[in-house]
Amino acid sequence: MTTDDLDARAAALDAQHAATDLRDRFLLPDGVVYLDGNSLGALPVGVPEAVESAVREQWGRDLIGSWNTHGWWDAPERVGDAVGRLVGAAPGQIVVGDSTSVRLHQSLHAAAALRPDRSVVLTEPGSFPTDQYVIAGVATQVGWRVEHATPAEIGARLGSEVAAVVLSHVDYRTGELLDLPGITAAAHDAGAVVVWDLCHSAGALPVGLDEHDVDLAVGCGYKYLNGGPGAPAYGYVAARHHAAFVNVVPGWNGHAEPFAMAGVYRGAPGIARARIGTPPMLSLLALEAALRAFDGLTIDDVRVRSLSLTRFLRDAVAAVVPEAALVSPEVDRLRGSQVAFRHPDAYGIVQALAARGVVGDFRTPDIVRLGVAAPYLTHADLVTAARTLRDVLDRGEHLNPAWSRRNVVT
């Protein structure tokens, strides 16, 4: 694809995918091409009204009665079922609340309890830092040995000592999509359980938790699910594991009789036993409203649009900025919903692009990451992004001393 072809090709693709263009369901500033939805999703139109209702009517008028009259008590499981529709989980297997770190900590302890006679946790060395910290912390607590392997090496490293395999479904830097069905099946054949981090896949592509017999999974609510900054995370526990699920953080919300105020913990039946403490209702209700942006659309529809957009963006960057060292997979089935490239001045590039209204993000040491939230982006937006990138580089705007990484507080 040449640079002269970009506009015509974008127009043709936008017409082809017009039925899945949901830009009018989101509140985005005029003149902004937002390519950071894989860090913080855009604001869905229904969220401000939902939050105002939660504050003024539910909290302000109905006060504590809202736990019953407005369904606050049931919200962690109700919203969990809404997330489940996007990640392929039947009702009653996902609970929402707390942070991804807490949910991962909880899930790893549950995995250890499911495989008490095994001593190794297998993970990828390049996983998101929080995942690495939590894995190391839990390993110390339960007596695991942490072993690292690349996704391609996982199969060969599965032995009788491996209790759990813990991986991110999509690499947060490059956008590489891992083989969730294949890795899960291989781990099960070796007697291990699998814990998947879905932060960069939920809401962007099919996951198929039930279909692929995943054991445990976690994810955040603020990226492709558009739940807002600090939106609560979710935890998935396959129904077959509910009876044996050990909640290492046994809060009162997960008690079988939470209002009995018993002095001894007894876990609730089903996914409710994965609940911990009082949920953050305002952010939980914001997430619930945000998920309605997917109404009338299947996750397969989102994936078809996403693949077209990321394929086009990858081609556009290669055509307009041929010196960009693309690191996101070229093959569709291996790519999540982002396009990333390496550049020694990556941080300055991201800042210069943002100054021009093209918002992406930077990942150390040298990655420019362009997240593609399919519902609210068009192919025409991506032409703008690619051409703006070319202009920034040609004008040397990315070399502005104010954007030297030496001046960045990390």
**H-only helix segments in 336-405:** 346-355, 379-395
**Active-site annotation holder among 36, 98, 131, 197:** 197
Check if 234 is active-site. Answer: no
**Active-site annotation holder among 222, 234, 294, 362:** 222
Check if 223 is active-site. Answer: yes
Check if 311 is active-site. Answer: no
**Active-site annotation holder among 26, 103, 115, 128:** 128
Check if 305 is active-site. Answer: no
SS (H, E, C) 53-70: HHHHHHHCCCHHHHHHHC
**Active-site annotation holder among 25, 103, 118, 223:** 223
**Active-site annotation holder among 25, 118, 311, 369:** 369
- Residue 214 near residue 279 (C-beta atoms within 8 A): no
Both tokens of residue 170?
């999509």
In Å, how far are 81, 116, 203 from 38, measured between CA atoms?
A: 22, 36, 10
Tell me which DSSP letter residue 163 carries. Answer: E
In Å, how far are 34, 35, 175, 228 from 353, measured between CA atoms?
A: 11, 10, 20, 23
Closest CA to 398 of 375, 366, 370: 366
**H-only helix segments in 236-293:** 281-291
Q: Phi and psi at residue 128, in whole multiples of 5°?
A: -55, 135
Check if 300 is active-site. Answer: no
314: number of Cβ within 10 Å:
25
What is the enclosing helix (H) or strand (E) of 313?
A: helix 299-320
- Residue 203 near residue 86 (C-beta atoms within 8 A): yes
- Give residue for tokens 């025409």: 380
Distance (Å, rounded) from C-alpha 55 to C-alpha 194?
A: 39
Closest CA to 242 of 267, 211, 210, 209: 267
Q: Phi and psi at residue 265, in whole multiples of 5°?
A: -75, 135
Closest CA to 221 of 284, 269, 156, 137: 284
Provide the annotated active-site residues.
128, 197, 222-223, 369
